[in-house]
Copies of this chain bind each other. A is one copy, B any other.
Amino acid sequence: MSNSRFAISLHILTLLERAKGGLLSSEFMAGSININPVLVRKELSNLRNHGFVDSKEGKNGGSYLSKSAKEINLADIYKAVKQNNLLGISKNTPNPQCSVGKQMNTHLNNLYNSTEQALLKELSSQTLADFSNRFD
């Protein structure tokens, strides 16, 4: 993952956890993260689709956690934002006429899968509550 979606989502979720049910606006969260509010709303849209948050429209609206922070582990968040492979892109197409090239993506993907498993295992050992509690 080269973009900062994981960090943004985790930041959003940490803010919401610490708000203890209070609604936070995308503008407020964008100010804390230091990014554009529209990006926050896009991430919220994704987090909503994954059942982590809910939002209330209209004046005095905002977002809040829709499940307990103890029930969200960091692997869940990773899965929700993940798009590429961990170690790089597979978009490259090696030469199919080369005996190594034509098999490379298969072996690379196998490798990516096993490393991703290791990553997920590590991430799943921590919940959002654990993470949030490290803040003063």
A residues with a Cβ closer than 8 A to B are 1-7, 10-11, 14-15, 18, 31-35, 74, 78, 84, 86-90, 92-95, 98-101, 103-104, 107-108, 110-111, 114-115, 117-119, 121-123, 126, 131, 134-136
Contacts and interface: CB of A to CB of B under 8 A. Distances in A.
A20 to B, nearest CB: 13
Nearest to A103: B135
B119 A7 contact: no
B98 A31 contact: yes
B1 A95 contact: no
30 contacts: A1-B2, A1-B86, A1-B87, A2-B84, A2-B88, A2-B89, A4-B89, A7-B87, A7-B92, A10-B108, A14-B104, A31-B95, A31-B98, A32-B100, A33-B104, A34-B93, A34-B94, A34-B95, A86-B119, A99-B135, A99-B136, A103-B134, A103-B136, A107-B135, A111-B126, A115-B119, A115-B122, A117-B122, A118-B121, A119-B119
